[in-house]
Amino acid sequence: MKKKRKAVILKVSENEKGNRYVKNNRIPQLEISEYDIIVKMERENVHMLNYILEAEDNIMNIRSFEGDYLRVIATKDTVIDAIRLLESVKEYIDLEIVELRPNNGKAN
């Protein structure tokens, strides 16, 4: 019988010393194939974000708003590139990446 693992939630932010929680552009080796990137932003800006992200090939997929937060999904192979791209979009859209967590396998 396999041991049930607890979900790991990684914060993508800086602590009081300015250190990143996801260090060295690496995600810990987990048996997870996709991640949810939770983004705080205004709903009105999601269309602009979509237009910008369409220029990149299959890095991430915008899913849905959960309250005030937009859920974006990325594979384990593209999650670092997705975070970098979202960080670069801050120049055009007011957004904040607030959480990175393993995807539960559901699209919505």
Lowest mean pLDDT among 13-17, 41-45, 51-55, 100-104: 13-17
What's the topology of domain 1-108?
A: Alpha-Beta Plaits (3.30.70)
87 phi and psi angles, rounded to 5 deg: -60, -40
Per-residue model confidence as pLDDT tens digits over 43-95: 999 989 988 887 777 888 888 898 989 999 999 999 999 999 999 999 899 99
DSSP bridge partners of 95: 41
What is the average pLDDT score of the chain?
Answer: 77
Amino acid at 28: P
51 phi and psi angles, rounded to 5 deg: -60, -40
pTM higher than the cut 0.75? no
pLDDT of residue 14: 52
Q: Are strands 61-66 and 69-75 parallel, antiparallel or unpaired?
A: antiparallel
Instruction: Provide the residue ranges of all domains of the chain, joining segments of one domain with +.
Output: 1-108
**Token digits of residue 16:** 């009081």
